[in-house]
């Protein structure tokens, strides 16, 4: 009876649209919580390998890796000092020496995952940092930042700061084979009672035609986001620029026409971040609002917010930032014996524009808190998924793979193929999708359940048994933007 119920549930999952061939399945790996601080190179690499293996097994296809928490670097930089969140002391290089960003790119790409480099643009010092390296921007340019709640914030009003952050971004994009460039929700600082942003004098001296300091601050951030987008795409047009804003844009009390029925902090009014403008103007390539609350939250209801973002942020691919721990902490309002994961996934399926999820945070998924990872792996992310397409960057598909052959080797029975010819990043094959169909089965490349591998390699090992059962294998090519070629078929006996 239990087995029959599970079967019905899986049928429901597929029919309700949970199973998708294209879906962004991301996870944030953060450094600012100190999870890597003081670890030896070997221990940190082992920890990350364990996380990546688990995340790959659970269906994740993109890692958003924090590389710049406070104008510092978890990568080799001539502009900013090594991060204390890596080595314990800002400016101290890791020993034995390694470059975490380069290493992570290699490990993610081996697993068919994307790697998005995540920076915090304006924050120059967190509360817990007590010493800055001599090369740090706050030491080099003491007038570049203001102090707020014991944090240093690069002043968004200064054009030199936008230029500096874009220089850092251009350095990362130019030297590393990243798939995406990601900024989080910290623009002007989160408001703290009794604290005042010390920029009134600058506003008075150079209003720029604005009669309201809020509009002036928003314009400062708008100009930066546009400049950052242009910087990234000028260097590498294929690098996806993403933003992960706080989960509320505006409350109805501030904007009766377009606000959400919520009562929390607001991007537009409190952080001076006009995220919807950036989406509508095409300055960002994807948006990941942090909808971390539970369904039924009294001031920031999850169901209200996912519907709001689905309606207002549809001009660019929309992924939802999910809090793993909070999802499993709270019971389903209609089924108290279950946590809220099934209800949230059902809401995802009902949305017209939501095409992915990013998990806060990776370690909670790896630790399988509340059985979250098991449920995702066995149901919602049971089959592999390709990245959502971004035709506004590139919509041309590569050519199909060549010379598909099944060959016996010392490693077993292998399926090999050759990379198709491509002239540039637009049509160069970067990964391959391998499908398996029964001999008499219709070949449907839209059926994600037939995907057996998404790989950067030009081969896969075949599950040979006794050589009596016939199958059709189909191999397609993916370019940098996950545009998929036509398939090349090969009949094999396994």
Q: Which of 110, 114, 230 is nearest to 165 (CA)?
A: 230
Q: What is the pLDDT of residue 475?
A: 98
Q: Model-level pTM?
A: 0.95
Q: What is the pLDDT of residue 387?
A: 97
DSSP for 218-264 reads HHHHHHHHHHHHHHHHHH-TTSEEEE--BS-S-BTTT-TTT-BS--S
From the first residue on, what is the mean pLDDT of each consecutive set of 10 residues in the chain (494 residues)? 42 49 98 91 97 98 98 98 97 96 98 97 97 98 97 98 98 98 96 96 95 98 98 98 98 98 98 98 98 98 98 98 98 96 98 98 97 97 97 97 97 97 94 97 97 97 96 98 98 97
The distance of Cα 402 from the centroid of its chain, to the nearest Å, equals: 32
Cβ atoms within 10 Å, residue 185: 20
Give 112's DSSP letter. T
Q: Which of 74, 116, 135 is nearest to 99 (CA)?
A: 74
Cα separations (Å) of 435 from 380, 432, 441, 451?
19, 10, 12, 4
Q: Which of 300, 295, 213 is nearest to 251 (CA)?
A: 300
Q: What is the pLDDT of residue 13?
A: 43
Q: Which of 147, 255, 268, 260 is nearest to 212 (CA)?
A: 268
Cα separations (Å) of 405 from 89, 250, 419, 475?
53, 56, 13, 11
Q: For residues 340 and 347, give the distance between their C-alpha atoms in angstroms, rounded to a whole number.
A: 11
Q: For residues 404 and 463, give the distance between their C-alpha atoms in angstroms, rounded to a whole number.
A: 17
């Amino acid at each position: 009876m239990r087995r029959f119920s599970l079967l019905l549930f899986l049928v429901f999952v597929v029919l309700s649209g949970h199973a998708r061939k294209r879906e962004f399945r991301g996870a944030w790996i953060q450094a600012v919580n100190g999870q890597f601080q003081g670890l030896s190179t070997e221990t940190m690499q082992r920890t990350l390998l364990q996380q990546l293996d688990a995340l790959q097994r659970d269906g994740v296809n993109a890692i958003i890796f924090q590389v710049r928490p406070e104008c510092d670097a978890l990568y080799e930089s001539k502009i900013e000092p090594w991060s204390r969140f890596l080595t314990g002391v800002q400016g101290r290089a890791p020993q034995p020496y390694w470059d975490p960003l380069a290493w992570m790119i290699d490990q993610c790409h081996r697993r068919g995952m994307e790697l998005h480099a995540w920076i915090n643009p304006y924050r120059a010092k967190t509360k817990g940092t007590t010493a800055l390296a001599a090369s740090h921007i706050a030491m080099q340019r003491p007038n570049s930042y203001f102090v707020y709640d014991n944090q240093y914030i690069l002043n968004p009003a200064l054009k030199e700061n936008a230029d500096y952050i874009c220089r850092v971004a251009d350095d990362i994009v130019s030297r590393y084979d990243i798939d995406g460039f990601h900024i989080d929700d910290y623009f002007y600082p989160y408001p703290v009672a009794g604290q005042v942003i010390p920029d009134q004098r600058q506003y008075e001296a150079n209003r720029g035609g604005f009669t309201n300091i809020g509009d002036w601050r928003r314009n400062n951030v708008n100009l930066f986001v546009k400049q950052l987008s242009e910087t990234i795409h000028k260097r590498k047009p294929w690098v996806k620029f993403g933003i992960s804003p706080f989960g509320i844009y505006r409350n109805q009390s501030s904007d009766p026409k377009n606000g959400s029925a919520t009562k929390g902090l607001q991007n537009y009014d409190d952080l001076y971040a006009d995220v919807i403008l950036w989406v509508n103007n095409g300055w960002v390539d994807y948006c990941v609002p942090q909808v971390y609350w539970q369904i039924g939250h009294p001031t920031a209801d999850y169901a209200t917010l996912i519907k709001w973002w689905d309606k207002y942020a549809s001009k660019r691919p929309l992924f939802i930032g999910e809090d793993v721990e909070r999802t499993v902490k709270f019971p389903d309002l209609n089924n108290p014996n279950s946590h809220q994961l099934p209800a949230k996934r059902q809401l995802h399926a009902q949305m017209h524009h939501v095409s992915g999820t990013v998990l806060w945070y990776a370690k909670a998924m790896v630790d399988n808190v509340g059985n979250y990872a098991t449920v995702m792996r066995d149901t919602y992310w049971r089959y592999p998924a390709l990245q959502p397409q971004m035709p506004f960057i590139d919509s041309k598909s590569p050519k199909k793979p060549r010379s598909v052959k099944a060959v016996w080797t010392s490693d077993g029975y292998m399926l090999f193929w050759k990379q198709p010819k491509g002239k540039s990043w637009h049509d160069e094959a970067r990964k391959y999708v391998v499908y398996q169909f029964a001999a008499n089965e219709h070949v449907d490349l839209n059926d994600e359940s037939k995907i057996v591998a998404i790989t950067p390699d030009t081969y896969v090992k075949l599950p040979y048994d006794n050589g009596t059962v016939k199958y059709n294998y189909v191999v397609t090519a993916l370019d940098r933007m996950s545009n998929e070629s036509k398939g090349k078929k090969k009949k094999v006996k396994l």
